[in-house]
Amino acid sequence: MPHKKTKTLKPTADAVEILRRRTYAGKPARMKNLEEARTNEEIARKIQELRTAAALTQTQLARLIGTTASVICRLEDADYEGHSLAMLRRIAGALNQRVEIRFVPIRRSA
Amino acid sequence: MPHKKTKTLKPTADAVEILRRRTYAGKPARMKNLEEARTNEEIARKIQELRTAAALTQTQLARLIGTTASVICRLEDADYEGHSLAMLRRIAGALNQRVEIRFVPIRRSA
DNA sequence: TTGCCATTTCGCAATATTGCGAATAGACTG
DNA sequence: CAGTCTATTCGCAATATTGCGAAATGGCAA
């Protein structure tokens, strides 16, 4: 997924273009990555937490959602970056939970 | 993604197996689908809402996250079922938001 | 009407995620 | 020690999602 395109900027009056540059220009991209890493870690922990709270082994949870233990293990890996809404829903459903998704505004620096 | 396996049940003492049957047996599966459909609809609407609130066209938002207008259009389609965490994050990031994911317990029947 | 912009739909290639078995390691027990 | 269960890692096939252009549609204004 290419995200690096810092070619030499040329002048523009396009407000959207300006916003795009401001957003992807400096550190924000890196911060965004860190933020995502944190989130992935939290998701992994949360899955493990819910599973153990339900007193299930990886194999048992896997059977509940129709997959295998290795898949569950992968999901509980803090470094895993491939979390999908579909999978989170399957996990949640098996554990009598639902996935709630919210867009929350970011406080723009200080 | 196969989810229908209502083969004739055979007796079991496995608690996990019992739970699995109870979860996927009757209507819950269908209710779960409805619940997901509602959620997808909400996500689609939310994306459109955020985009228009930011006074952006689909083309402009597409440029912000490095894709095309047709993709944005697809995301804003209430019937679209392919929402991914990755894409939601890209949208959110471009609009100064972050995606918050929570597992919330479901009140079991009545 | 024409022209322009935004949106929508379609098809297919490219990439990402899942499915799944096998093999390994760790912990615990008899 | 062997035996068992859990967790983890690896590789590759299968499926799902995205990328992207082309074409069609709708709205709006000159």
Domain ranges of chain B: 15-94
* HSE toward the beta carbon, residue B58, CA cutoff 13 A: 12
Q: Which of A97, A106, A108 sits opposite B105 (nearest CB)?
A: A97
Q: Which pLDDT score, from 0 to 100, does residue B104 have? A: 95
Q: Which pLDDT score, from 0 to 100, does residue A107 have? A: 76
- Whole-model pTM: value is 0.78
Q: Tens of pLDDT along chain A (110 residues)?
A: 322 222 223 344 445 555 544 444 444 555 567 778 888 999 999 999 999 999 999 999 999 999 999 999 999 999 999 999 999 999 999 999 999 999 999 876 55
Residues sharing a CB contact under 8 Å with residue A17, sequence separation 6 or more, in sequence order:
B63
Q: Is the CB of A41 under 7 A from strand D?
A: no
Closest Cα of chain B to A56: distance in Å? 8
Q: Which of A32, A43, A86 sits opposite B93 (nearest CB)?
A: A32
Q: Which pLDDT score, from 0 to 100, does residue B109 have? A: 59
Distance from chain centroid for Cα B94: 20
What's the CA angle centered on B79, arms A68 and B92, to 5 degrees? 80
Tokens 């509980």 sit on residue: A76
List chain B residues with CB under 8 Å of A94. Answer: 20, 23
> What class has domain B15-94?
mainly alpha
Q: Which pLDDT score, from 0 to 100, does residue A34 have? A: 75
Identify protein residues whose C-beta is within 7 angstroms of any atom in strand C: A 1, 66-71, 74-75, 81-84, 86-87; B 1, 52, 57-59, 69-70, 73-74, 76-77, 84, 86
Identify the segments of chain B with pLDDT beneath 50: 1-13, 21-27
Q: Which pLDDT score, from 0 to 100, does residue A22 have? A: 45
